[in-house]
Amino acid sequence: MGFAVAYTLKFGMLAKLHRGIEMKSFLTRLATPLLATTFFSVSLAAHAEYNTLFLDLAAGEEMSHYRLGIGDTQKGVEGDKVTSMIYLGYFKSDDMAKVEKTKLGDQEFEILTLGAGGFGYLANPSQHGGAEFDFELSETTNDALDYERVSVGMRAQLFLPVASGLQANVGVNLRPFFLSSDWDDTAKLEYEYQAGVEFAFNWDIALYAHYRFLGAYLNNDDKLTMAEGSIFGLRARF
């Protein structure tokens, strides 16, 4: 009897320890991306003078995307200016979703983001172009599909000169499993890519037309198509 009680107690303690380790692991996965993005944003905020307002407003039939931020733009000649910024973003789509080739009907996906990074052009941008690189803390949701995922993502886009003021744009946004707090029960990877053309009036204001695709690879390796379509927008800094 004593042996059975001791064994039961030992087994219970091991079970509690295992659950504690699982909870600690979960909290670690959740805290790591949050702390990384928060630290980056606070570090940026501590050194910024907030002399620049950043706007990126775009909409299309299948999706819309808005970003509003503030930042610090270093002095330089026209074009040779880089803005270090923090911003809030909101993305919403209403398009035919698919898992592989199976159609799920029109689905609404929403993405809230807190981003920090840099945007600007090189000296003589008509020849050398420019770029934007950001880190984003994001939450993607779809109530109908019970889809919710929090992750840190890496956004990048390049502005490639074609003619005076006219430029091509290519961009990508990756939110991998190892930067997500929900990697074990939602998706291995969320991703976006875009391509299009832009016209920059004075390197601070540009109009653009992009094709954009938003999707994910689920934990069973199936491909989820969230939305795709054309989007037209304005990007500016003041």
CA angle 148, 180, 57 (to 5 degrees): 65
Neighbouring C-beta atoms of residue 44, cutoff 10 Å: 17
pLDDT of residue 4: 40
Report the pLDDT value the prediction gives residue 48, as an integer from 0 to 100. 52
140 has a pLDDT exceeding 90: yes
pLDDT recorded at residue 163: 86
φ/ψ of residue 104, rounded to 5 = -105, 5
Mean pLDDT computed over 123-134: 81
Note the pLDDT tens digit of each residue in 55-67.
999 999 999 999 9
